[in-house]
Amino acid sequence: MHNSDTIANEKEEFKQAVLNARPFKPLYVKFKVFYGCNLKCEMCNHWRETREPPVSADRFKEVITELAEMGTKKIHISGGEPMLRPHIPDFVELASSLGIKVTMTTNGTLITKEKAKQLVEAGLRGVNISIDSPIRKMHEKIRGVEGAFKLTTKAVGLFNRYKHKGKLTIRINTVVSRTNYESLATLPDLAHELGADGINLIPVDDHCGEILSMRKKDIEKFNNEIAPRIAERALELGLIVSDEDAFPFGRDESEVRLGRAGRYAFGFYEKHPCYAPWSHTLIDFNGNVYVCCMTREKIPRWEISLISLSKKYGKVTHIVKSA
């Protein structure tokens, strides 16, 4: 994620940046290019809220060029739903032409034959498509829009159709919550049937409240009955690399306790430093720049607007709006 090859090749520079609290390089940048969404997911606020217009496509293109000059190796495009912006293939093509690997997360419902072909030919290297259950009714209950399952699963097939035109990896993102966890045992079979290369089980975020959060008894049932079946089948099909990937809430009692509190790193960063701030940046739809995606909207807006790439890396300017 943080381009370990670059860090290894420039380890002394990286070491000095860390030791002296100075910037290194924005190796991995997440672009949230749009706030709104066309679905009404129960675990998400993007469709419930209205925000200011996003940064213009021309400005995003300028930033992509500046990031390439600073050594960025990967850009991940997300939202909201990024495909609500018509410029995504242009962003991908520009970044790819500058030597930046581009990936994207989408709900897939707006992917057409033409869009899939454009994105793959533009150089898209990875796409994460959100499917919250292998059962249509359950997926649509969570996503809040009838017909979403058909459109999303079709999108996986469309990307597969043009996969040979590039080096595209297709993964299924699944948010595991109290609503859907009992329905996920056959998720690996659906992913394999659709032609996906992998699955990502994402624990429901702690901002979703008690209705969706996994209780102790839910995690116990998931870990004892559902996750082992997912792990066995997904490993057999090559959709995960370790059975640990099937246990997003942890396995032993201490991990589960932390997982229930939304601490899905299970205390790792209490004992180890996090180096993401030296190599990772989030650029939001409105031009705000964050040192890390985990700090988004968790510190006062006036402070965030001071954290720009121009201050962090000394190059990009005028992207952050004043508070």
| 320 within some domain | no
Q: What are the helix (H) ranges across 148-241?
A: 148-161, 187-194, 216-221, 227-237
Chain segment 14-43, per-residue pLDDT in tens: 889 888 888 888 899 999 999 999 999 998
Is 1 contained in some domain? no
- Model pLDDT, residue 297: 58
d(CA 248, CA 180): 14
Domain span at residue 62? 22-313
User: Where would I find the beta strands (DSSP E) of 62-119?
Assistant: 74-78, 101-106
| Nearest C-alpha neighbor of 178 from the set 210, 202, 224 | 210
Per-residue model confidence (pLDDT) at position 71: 92
Is the dihedral angle over the CA atoms 234, 236, 239, 245 positive or is it negative?
Answer: positive
The mean pLDDT of the chain is 87
DSSP SS3 for 190? helix
Does 8 fall in a domain?
A: no
The tally of domains found in the chain comes to 1
Asked if 316 and 67 count as a contact pair (C-beta separation under 8 A), the reply is: yes
CA distance 48 to 53: 15
pTM higher than the cut 0.75: yes
What is 288-322 written as a DSSP string? -EESSGGGTTSS-HHHHTT--HHHHHS---S-SPP
Give me the CATH number covering residue 294. Answer: 3.20.20.70
- Token pair for 88: 């995504």
pLDDT digits (tens, 9 = 90+) for 265-303: 778 888 888 888 888 889 999 988 887 776 665 443 333
pLDDT band at 306 (very low <50, low <70, confident <90, very high): very low
Quick check: 249 and 220 in contact, CB under 8 A?
A: no
Does residue 17 sit within a domain?
no
Does 240 map to a domain? yes
Domain assignment of residue 297, yes or no = yes
Examine residue 16 and state whether it is found in any structural domain, yes or no. Answer: no
pLDDT tens digit sequence for 221-278: 999 999 999 999 999 999 999 999 999 999 988 888 887 777 777 788 888 888 888 8
> Which candidate, 181, 166, 315, places its Cα nearest to that of 248?
181
When pLDDT is averaged across residues 116-134 and rounded to a whole number, the result is 97
For the segment 197-215, the average pLDDT, to the nearest whole number, is: 82
d(CA 100, CA 76): 10
Is the bond into 36 cis (omega within 30 degrees of 0)?
no
Q: Give the C-alpha separation, 248 to 101, whole Å.
A: 27
Q: Is residue 15 a part of any domain in this protein? A: no
